[in-house]
Structure 1
Amino acid sequence: MKFYDRGFIFKYDDYTQVQIFSAGTAVLDMKIYEDRVCSSTFRCEKLEVFNAKNLHESYNKDFLRELFNKNEKEIIHRDRDNRILIKIRKD
């Protein structure tokens, strides 16, 4: 998955929602729960399955949720071995 546009991160008690927009159109609307990831573009999947398909099977199941829940202004995750770069800049 590659996204370079604006988005929103909403933190709720039960899940974290990530919405990414391109030219005003939602290209990703994903909800990250404790045990699964759900999106409008795919059915809910266990975190391990999502990681294996979209990141790498070696990633901890909580990786995605922890990444989006960080309270840092700029988050950069660089995994050269698996050719993964994730940059999150918060306003």
Structure 2
Amino acid sequence: MSVTDAQTRDYLGGRGVPPFVIEQILAVFAHLRAGGQASITPAVTNLLGRPARTLREFLNAHAKAFTTVPEPTVPEPTLESAR
């Protein structure tokens, strides 16, 4: 799906996003479209001592964290809370 800068401006502006924020968002995406952030560096490997995982590998390893809803914890009543 391709969305033009004008469509993005109209959409975000229509939802109350300030013009300067819209322009910053558009600048970031223009940078990415032009290949910014496309290079791979050894930073993660150097920091972790192992190669970085792909997003797919990370999500597969932690799927439960994204698919289960924890039971709400309700504090046990105390004599103080009963007053």
TM-score range (shorter-chain normalised) is: under 0.3
User: Which has more helix, going by share of residues?
Assistant: 2
Task: Name the structure with the higher strand share.
Answer: 1
- Work out which of the two has the higher radius of gyration on C-alpha atoms and give 1 or 2: 2
Greater relative contact order (CA < 8 Å, ≥ 6 in sequence)? 1
TM-score when scaled to structure 1? 0.25
TM-score (norm 2): 0.26
